[in-house]
Structure 1
Amino acid sequence: MSPIHDPPKDPRLDAGNKDHDHYAQRLPKWRNALRNCLIPIVRWETPWLALLQEKVRSPALDSYFAYTANLGTHTFFMVFLPIQFWCGYTSIGRASVFMLAAGVYGTGFLKDMVCLPRPLSPPLARISMSGSAALEYGFPSSHSANAVSVAFYAIYMLRQSAEEDSSNVNSALQALFYFYALSIIAGRLYCGMHGFLDVLVGSAMGALITAFQLVCGDWMDSWVFSGSYWDILVATLVICVLVRVHPEPADDCPCYDDSVSFSGVVIGINLGAWYYAQTGYALQDAYPSSVPFDLHKMGLLKATVRILLGVVVIFVWRATMKPALFTILPPLFRLLEQARWNMPRAFFLNASKYKSIQPFADDDNVIPPVSDLPHMLKNLAHPRKRSVSVGPQSAADAYETLAYRNRRRRESINSMDGVPEDGTWLPSPALKPSTPAIEKAEPLLGASLLPTPMASRVHSYEQMMGTGQINFAEKNLTTPPGSDTDVAGDVYRLPQTPTEEEKEKREIFMKLTKPRVRYDVEVVTKLIVYAGIAWLAVAGNPILFEWVGLGMGVLS
C-alpha cells in the first residue's frame, strides 16, 4: 500500500512548485522505479502518434472515432447489461458483468499504481466527447480491455453455435465483433487518448480476462449458487478487500471511482442472483437465476414496457439513494474517525472536515443522473460537438510536461556548458533515469530510415513535446467546424529567469480542469448504490415484472 496523503490546501500552489520529482516524492520507490522504466516509452511513441494523426486525420474520421468511443465506455455497457438479464440471457449477462468489472478494476489498479500520463499534448491533439477522460492516467487502456473482452467472448459463443448453424449471419456477426474491437483500439490511438503501449496492454488484459471467464466462469457461478450463506458472504468480503487494496494515485485521478462502482455491481449481481434463484420466479430447468422470457408469447409491446419500467426503477433508486446516503453517512463516518476506525484515501475529504456535501452532478462515469440525459442525447445527435484540445489537460499531463521540458532544458544547458548560478533549472537529484535519444532532441530510433521529409516531421513533433504550447507553423490541425477547440498557438520559448519559469508553471496549472472535491462517504455510497442497481437488475425488477403483470406468470 502506498502512503496516504491529504489533499493539498492549495492545489494550484502545490502543483506550481513541483514537476518531475512529484512522483518520486509521492510514490513508493518500487512504483516510481517502474514508472521511470515506462515513461521513455510514452515519450518515444508520442511523435509517431502525432505523425499518424497528420497522415490520416479528417473531419469524417474525427466524428466517427469521437462518436464510436462511446461504445467502449462503462456507461454503454451498463445500459445494456440489465436488458440481457430481463430477456433471459442470464449466463451471457453474468459473464459480461464479471469481464467488464475485471477489466475496469484491473486497468484502474494499474493506472493508479504506475501513474503513467497519456501521450504528450502537444504535439498530439486529443479528441473526446468526455470531459473527464483526460483526468485519468493513460496506461493501460480501459476502452481496449472492455472492447476486446466482450468481442472475444461474443466471437467464442458465435463459433460454438456455428457448429450447428453455419449460416452467413453467424460469420457476419463474428466479423462485426472483430471490427468493433479493432475500431475501438484504433480510435484510442487516432484520438490521441492512448499510446501503443496502452492499447497493447489493455487488449492483452481483455483477452486474458475472456480466457479466465471461459475456464472458470461456470465454477464461480456454481459456487455462488450453492445455496450457502457463507459462500456468498465470502464472495462479498473478497470484493470489499479488493476495493481496499486499490493503490493510491499520485494525482487526483478518478480511476478508483470506476473500480468501486463495478465492485458494487459484482456484489449486487451475486447477492441478487443468489436470492432470485431461491424464489419461485426463476426458471428451474435453465441457468440458475434465469428470468422467464419468451418474446413470441409476451409480445414486443409488453417486452418494451417492462424494459422501460426496469430502467426507470434503476434511475429512481440511484436518484433517491445517493442523496439519502450523503445525509446519513457523514455523521457515522465522523464517529468512526474519532474511534480511528476510518480508512482514509488520498484526495478524499474526511467527514470531520466538512459539515455538508454540496450538490454535484459530474460524479459518475458509469450511470449518469437523469438530469444529464438530455445533454448526452444532444451530444449523440450532434457528434461533431466534441472537444479537440492541445496542451496539458490534467495534473498528470502538467507534471509530465514540466518534467520533460526541464530535462530538455538540462540537455540544452549542458550542451552549452553553462548552468545558472543558483541551479534553479537543474532537475531534482531524486530522479535520475537514463536519457534516451528522444530526451536529447536527437533523431528518433528508426527516423533515419524514413524519407527525409517524414523524418523531419517526426523530429519537429519531438521538438513540440514538453512545451505546453504548439507552433502552428509546424503543425496544421484539422479541426472540423463546430468543434470546441482549445489550442495555444504561440511559438514556444524557454523561460529565461526563475520568475518566468514559475509564472509559466502557474499558467499551465491554471488552465487545467480542476477535479471536484471528493468526500470519504462516496466510496461506501457507490458500493451501496451500485450493489442496489445490480440487485434490482437480476432480482428486484424481475419480481416486480411478475407483480405488475409484465412477466411470464411462471411460479414453481
Structure 2
Amino acid sequence: MSANLGTHTCFMAVLPVMFWCGKPYLGRFMTNILAAGVFSSGFVKDLLCLPRPLSPPLTRITMSGSAALEYGFPSTHSTNAVSVAVFSILLLQDPELSISPQARLYLQVAAYLYACSIVMGRLYCGMHGFFDVVCGSLLGAVVALAQFYLGPIRDEWLFSGEIKNVLISGLIVLLLVRIHPEPADNCPCFDDSVAFAGVVWGLDIGGWHISRTQYVDTAANYPSAIPFNVEQLGWSKVIARIVLGVGSVFVWRAVAKPTLLTILPPIFRVVESLGLDLPRRYFKRASEYQSVPDQKDDDNVIPSARDIPQMLGNLRNRRRAVSIGPQSEADAYEALAYRQKRRRDSIKGAETSLIAESKLANDYFANLPDIPTQSRKRSLSLEEFRQQMGASLSELSPIAIGSPQPEKVNGGSETFMKAEDEKDRSELFATVQKVRVRYDVEVVTKLIVYGGIGWIAVEGAPMLFHHLWLSTYRVG
C-alpha cells in the first residue's frame, strides 16, 4: 500500500505541469511512467531479494506495515518520484510551451524539491539505505527518458496499426507478468506489478479504439486525445465528471472482481487437470480450495468502497507510526544472522580472553622459583592464581590452567548457541507480519479488473460523459 500511495502522490505532483502545458492527455504518459517504475522496481526486488535496513539497530518509521513486507532494493518511491520529476522537467523544456519563464522556473524547482524530499524521506524513515535510493533514482531517470523519447514512437506504432498491434501489446504484458521473478519470501511486489500491467493494457485497448471514433480531439496532435476545456464546461460539470468517473471505476471493480473470483476457479481446475497451468510460489492452486473467501485489505492499489470511510478516519487521526524490529521474513532472517554473528563474536572474544588469562597465569607460576614444576602443573589452577592476585570469588573461572577449553563449559558453546538461535528464531518469526493467503485466480482477475479500469479512463468514461451532456461539445 505504501508504494502505491507514493505512486498516487507522484501522479498528483505532476498535475500542475499537465495543467500549465494544456495537455490533459499527458495523464496517459504519466500512467505509463508510473506503471513502468512499479513493475521494473518490483521485478528487481523479487529478483535480488535484498532486505531493507536492519531494525534494530536502526529505528524504522513508516505509515504502512505492508511496505516492510517488500524487499528494499531498489526504492520504488525513489523510482516513481525521480521519473515524475525528470519527465516534468523535460516537458518544461519545450520551447513551444506557452508559459512565462518565471512560471517555468518555479515548476522546475518544485520538481527538484519534490524528488529530493521523497528520496531523503525514505532514508529518514529507515525504509531504505543510500544504495537503495540511489539505484532507485537512476532507474526512475531511465524510465522517464524512455517514455519521453520512445513513448511517442510506441504510441504511433500502436495507433497506426490494426488490432494485431493491440494483441501484440497484450502478449508482451502477459509475458512480462509470466517471467516476473519468484521471490525467496512471500513478497507482495508481484501483486502491484500485475495491477499496473493490467492498467497499461487497458489504456492501449481503449486508446487504440477511441482513436478510430469521432470522440477524439483532432486539434490535439495526439490520436486518442479527448477535448476538454474547463471554461466551456464550467466547474459544476467538471466536478460531475470527476464524481462520475471515479464512481464508474468503483462500480466496475465491485462487480467484476467477485464475478471473476467465482467463475474462474472451476476453469482453473480444468486447466490444472490437463497439466497446462503455470503455478506460482505462494499462490494456492485451484485444486487446493473450493472458493475464494472475501478478504480484507486484498488490494494494495485501489481500496474497496467500504474501506474509504475508515481510511478517511485514519487520515484525520493520523499519527506517526514507529515500527522497531523485523516486519517481514526477510527482516527476520537478517536479524537472526545479525544476532548469530554478534553471539559468535562474543564467544570468540571470551575464549580469547580466557586463553590469554591462562597463558598469563602459566607464565606467572613458571617464574616462581620455590614451587616444584611437577607440583605446579598438578595443583595450581587459574582459580588459585586469581585468589593469589586478590580476585573476588564471583569472578573466579572454573576453567583450569592446563585445559583452557571454553567449549566444555555449560554443555558446550555450540550447544548453547544452537539453543539461543532456536529461541531467537521463534521470537522473531512470531512478530513478523504475515502476507495474506493468495489464490492463483487472482492474477488473471487483477489483470482483467485493472485492464478495465484503464479502458474506462481513456474510452469508457469519455463516451459516458458525451451521452450525459458532460463533454465539451456534442458529436453529430
Match of 2:431 in 1: 511
Q: Find the partner of 1:94 among 23, 28, 33.
A: 28
Query: Per-residue displacement from partner, 1:330-376 (whole Å, max 9, x unpaired)?
Result: 00000111001111111000010011111112122211111221222
Shift of 1:284: 2.1
Secondary structure at the aligned position of 1:73 is classed as helix
CA distance in 2, matches of 1:365, 1:71: 7
Query: Per-residue displacement from partner, 1:282-335 (whole Å, max 9, x unpaired)?
Result: 112321111111111110111111111000000111111111111010000001
Match runs of 1:116-265 below 5 Å: 116-161=50-95, 164-265=98-199
CA distance in 2, matches of 1:164, 1:236: 37
Contact 1:74 1:365 (C-alpha < 8 Å) held by counterparts: no
Structure showing greater radius of gyration is 2
Match of 2:462 in 1: 542
Aligned letter for 2:423?
K
Shift of 1:382: 3.0
Secondary structure at the aligned position of 1:269 is classed as helix
Query: Per-residue displacement from partner, 1:510-539 (whole Å, max 9, x unpaired)?
Result: 111111100001100110000000000000
CA distance in 2, matches of 1:72, 1:348: 25
Aligned letter for 1:104?
V
Shift of 1:144: 0.4
Shift of 1:112: 0.3
CA distance in 1, matches of 2:168, 2:96: 38
Contact 2:42 2:190 (C-alpha < 8 Å) held by counterparts: yes
Aligned letter for 1:187?
G
Shift of 1:191: 0.3
With normalisation by structure 1, the TM-score equals: 0.70
Shift of 1:383: 3.2
Contact 1:72 1:144 (C-alpha < 8 Å) held by counterparts: no
Contact 2:47 2:183 (C-alpha < 8 Å) held by counterparts: yes
- Whether 1:399 and 2:319 are equivalent positions in the alignment is no
Match of 1:378 in 2: 313
Larger proportion of helix: 2
Aligned letter for 1:250?
A
Query: Per-residue displacement from partner, 1:258-297 (whole Å, max 9, x unpaired)?
Result: 1100000110000000011111111123211111111111
Aligned letter for 1:248?
E
Query: Per-residue displacement from partner, 1:25-68 (whole Å, max 9, x unpaired)?
Result: xxxxxxxxxxxxxxxxxxxxxxxxxxxxxxxxxxxxxxxxxxxx
Q: 1:79–1:310: structure 2 CA closer, same or farther, 3 Å change rule?
A: farther
Q: Find the partner of 1:351 among 286, 289, 295.
A: 286
CA distance in 2, matches of 1:416, 1:107: 44
Match of 1:73 in 2: 6
Shift of 1:156: 1.5
Shift of 1:217: 1.1
Shift of 1:177: 1.2
Match of 2:43 in 1: 109
CA distance in 2, matches of 1:396, 1:523: 24
- Whether 1:302 and 2:222 are equivalent positions in the alignment is no
Aligned letter for 1:170?
R
CA distance in 2, matches of 1:379, 1:161: 44
Contact 1:88 1:291 (C-alpha < 8 Å) held by counterparts: no
Match of 1:327 in 2: 262
CA distance in 1, matches of 2:429, 2:304: 29
Instruction: Name the count of aligned residue pairs.
Output: 411
Aligned letter for 1:208?
V
CA distance in 1, matches of 2:36, 2:193: 9
| Structure 1 vs Structure 2 CA RMSD | 2.5
Contact 1:99 1:210 (C-alpha < 8 Å) held by counterparts: yes
Query: Per-residue displacement from partner, 1:86-144 (whole Å, max 9, x unpaired)?
Result: x9835411211111111111100110001011000012222222121010000000000
Contact 1:126 1:389 (C-alpha < 8 Å) held by counterparts: yes
Q: Find the partner of 1:291 among 199, 213, 226.
A: 226
CA distance in 2, matches of 1:529, 1:325: 9
Q: 1:395–1:101: structure 2 CA closer, same or farther, 3 Å change rule?
A: same
Match of 1:532 in 2: 452
Match of 2:322 in 1: 388
Shift of 1:378: 2.3
Aligned letter for 2:231?
H
Match of 1:460 in 2: none
Match runs of 1:412-431 below 5 Å: 412-417=346-351
Secondary structure at the aligned position of 1:171 is classed as helix
CA distance in 1, matches of 2:292, 2:339: 39
Match runs of 1:14-25 below 5 Å: none
Q: 1:165–1:306: structure 2 CA closer, same or farther, 3 Å change rule?
A: closer
CA distance in 2, matches of 1:195, 1:544: 47
CA distance in 2, matches of 1:395, 1:506: 12
CA distance in 2, matches of 1:296, 1:130: 40
Secondary structure at the aligned position of 2:160 is classed as coil
CA distance in 2, matches of 1:497, 1:408: 11
With normalisation by structure 2, the TM-score equals: 0.81
Which stretch shows the higher mean deviation, 115-124 or 157-166? 157-166
Q: 1:380–1:169: structure 2 CA closer, same or farther, 3 Å change rule?
A: farther
Match of 1:35 in 2: none
Secondary structure at the aligned position of 2:278 is classed as coil
CA distance in 1, matches of 2:12, 2:465: 18
Which stretch shows the higher mean deviation, 273-282 or 89-98? 89-98
Match runs of 1:366-515 below 5 Å: 366-384=301-319, 386-417=320-351, 496=416, 498-515=418-435
CA distance in 2, matches of 1:166, 1:88: 14
Percent identity (aligned): 51
Shift of 1:194: 0.6
CA distance in 2, matches of 1:208, 1:225: 24
- Whether 1:338 and 2:258 are equivalent positions in the alignment is no
Contact 2:249 2:456 (C-alpha < 8 Å) held by counterparts: yes
Match of 1:520 in 2: 440
- Whether 1:318 and 2:253 are equivalent positions in the alignment is yes
Aligned letter for 1:157?
L
Shift of 1:495: 9.9
Secondary structure at the aligned position of 2:419 is classed as helix
Stretches of structure 2 that go unaligned for 5 or more consecutive residues are: 353-413
CA distance in 2, matches of 1:544, 1:76: 27
Q: 1:541–1:163: structure 2 CA closer, same or farther, 3 Å change rule?
A: closer
